[in-house]
Amino acid sequence: MARLAPTRSQGRIEAGLASINGNLARRVKSGKMTEAEREATLSLIKPVASYEGFGDFDLVIESAVEDEQIKRKIYQTLCPHLKPECLVGSNTSSISITRLAASTDRPEKFMGIHFMNPVPVMELVELIRGIATEEQTFSTAKEFALSLKKTIAVASASSSTSSSFEATCVASAAISSVPPAMAKMPLRW
């Protein structure tokens, strides 16, 4: 089940749901999904009015704008409502996972789970461990990504920005946007 986070505007929730519905409708039209699958997917999305609505989840992935202070505020407000064993992920591609994890009450249960855009098209998910990320947290995130039929790229906490760049190059090579020989060239910083 997926839940849309609280927002100050009901209009934003409605716009988000409309966007998801439109994306799913395109998948139906292209034959990648049946109408029944679209309806079943939509039935799993539940908007909530407060962070208390996330209390029964095993995994929560934040996907807010790339602003560290906003993300930290979300975690500080969200985490008290989560069960102790809940894992927290961030979809960030450029902010330190270790720093974000430090703003939670569970740095060992926190990691980066970065979905490449557009998510329905791109098969790559970058998994980024923080310094405190436990092996079980990583294993669970990996199982989750694989259950979505995604390809996994693993990055370290110290290199999330460059790893995202490298992962994007790998993804580009996978869809033949760049010649495979170029994708194998060493990156120089």
Active site residues: 114
Q: What does the block give as tokens for 153?
A: 């790229």
Helix (H, G, I), strand (E, B) or coil at 48: coil
Adjacency order of strands within the sheet including 110-115: 59-62, 87-90, 110-115, 124-129, 151-155
- Residue 123 burial (CB count, 10 A): 16
Decide the pairing of beta strands 45-47 and 59-62: unpaired
Query: Amino acid letter at 49?
Result: A
* Cα-to-chain-centroid distance, residue 66: 13
Give the Cα separation of 3 and 20 in Å (integer).
12
